[in-house]
Structure formats: structure tokens, C-alpha cells
Structure 1
């Protein structure tokens, strides 16, 4: 007998729960279901967020939009950051007296204690209003000038009230001191009168015995 190799035909069949062959439609649905489940399990990683670079400030700008953006920057700073910022703009203005530098310095001085005097800042605002051509910027500066003037007035009123309170407290202390001095003097006189009364009684007693 000749040895013959018989080919092994492998046949895969999909069976349902009852071990019955499944139709092609059922097989397709099963495969699609597995594909959907795999897509749900696999999710691509989120791309790393790139930091947004802060644009450099244009201190020479004189338009209203740029000035408003700078005001927003100042509002977002803590007081410790505003002072060196204000001093930096002041140095820039000292080397180049451009209108943009003047405007930025005024804005910084309005919200930075220790960087300029409030009365000087208010006077500079009035000067700039007469020199700048942009109507919108003039109106905005006029409004800010009113805020500065009001703040300065309130600060002056507060200082006056504190002075009056201090004087009143000092005067009250002086009155109390005078009262204590008078009370001490009265007590001393009363002691002298009591001592004299005692001596007088002693003399009367001696006279009666004579």
C-alpha cells in the first residue's frame, strides 16, 4: 500500500448556546460588538497642553485697548509686584519721555502706594488730557482722574479725623491728669486740716487741765 498524505481540512464553526451553527449575520454582529467594546476600552491619551506665552507689553502704545490691557495686568498683580513694575516704567520714562510711557506710569501710580505722590499723579493726568489727541483715551483718563481725586479727598478726610481723635484723646488724658492733680491737692489740704484740728484739740485739752 502506498502511503498517502491526507490533507487535514480544518473548519471553524461558530456555535450558539444550543451548539447550533450561527448564520453569517449573527457572526458579523458578534464581531462588530467586539470591535465596539475594544474601541471603548482604548482611548488615546490627551495631548499635553502647551503653555501660552505671555505677550510682551508695549509700553509705548497709546491706544485705549493697550492701556486697558495694561490696567488688567496691574489688577492681576499682588502689591509686591506692582511697586517694581511702577519703578521700571518710571525709569523708562526718565530716559525717553514718550507719551506711551507717561500713560503707563500714570496707570501704575494710581494703584501703587510708594510710587509717586497722589497729588502729583492727579496733576499729571490733567496735563496729559490736554496733550493727547485720542478722544476715548481723554475721556477714560478724565474718569480715572475723578477716582484719584475722590480717593485723595477721602484719604485727607481720614487723616483729619485721625488727627482730631488723637487731639481729643490727648486732651482727655490731660483733663484726667489735671483732675488727679486736683484730687491729690484736695486730699493734701484735707490732711493738713485734720492735722490742725488734732493740734487744736490737743491745745484745748491742755487748757482745760490748767
Structure 2
């Protein structure tokens, strides 16, 4: 670049960090100056809402998505490093879809395990091992310390909320809720 060469115009974009390019962009109002992290854009391509980019993050370069333009921030801004390639986006979208499918299947399997333990009718085979990231299936009733009863109640409350979200019949949802409340009552009155 010579002395009198034209320098690229720098635009300020706001981004949202993503774990991968497969993760959906947040549903934010692009004119909301309080949403997203501000970065300078000096790339040849014109920025656009939803564009997948690579920016500096806490652990090096990381995926992000453009969510707006301009900022009210007065500090120093980092630079958008580059636009993500089509291959990166396709690879990440496929991985995200696989991970999302597995997470959905694990959540459904855990709920089925909880329902079976609660004496509800379930269809198909039920897993015997609790999926990673989910609590062990707690007893439906019995005695427990306050701490155990609290853990059991939280597990059954989670099952109740998940059953509600999954659209299980109201009587089944209420049954799971009653088990949770029963454990919370044990917790609240002390050791049994």
C-alpha cells in the first residue's frame, strides 16, 4: 500500500459470540445498541446482518454472527478477522444438528426413565443408564435427609417441567409435580 493509497473504510459492527457457526443467531433487534459486542470491520466484503464471522475471543479466534451496526461504546474495539467460509459454516451446522439431535434424544430418554420410575406408562424400551448431564433418577418416596430430599425434589421438579414442555398428558405432568412437592415437604420439615 503506497502513501496515497485509499485505506479501507472502517465500519462498526455488533456481534454475538456463538459456540459454532451452526448455532442460530439470537433474535435481537438490530437497532438495539446495547445488544452484542462492538468490533471494527475493515474487510473488503460489506457486512450484513446474520453474516458469520471470525473474531478474537477469550480462547483465541472464535465464531460469531453480525447482529447490528454502530455502537455507543467509547473504548477500543477489536477487529473482525474474516468472514467464515462456506465449508466452516456447513461443517458447524452439521455438527450442531447432530449435537442438538443427541441432546433432544437424551432429554427424552431421561424423561422416559423418570416417568417409568414414577409408575407412569411409557412406550418402547427405556434406557438403563442416565444420559450424561442429567441427574440420577431419584426414589419416588421413602425417607431421606434434608439435603437428599432437596436433591430428590429438584430432580422430580426438573422431570415435571420437562414433561410439561414435552406436552405429556396433564395427569402425568401433575403426578411428577406431586412427587417433587412431596420431597420438598420432606426437606422443609427436616430429616425423616
TM-score w.r.t. the length of structure 1 is 0.24
Task: Identify, as 1 or 2, the structure richer in helix.
Answer: 1
> Is the radius of gyration larger for structure 1 or structure 2?
1
Task: Identify, as 1 or 2, the structure richer in strand.
Answer: 2
RCO greater where, 1 or 2, for CA within 8 Å and sep 6 or more? 2
TM-score w.r.t. the length of structure 2 is 0.26
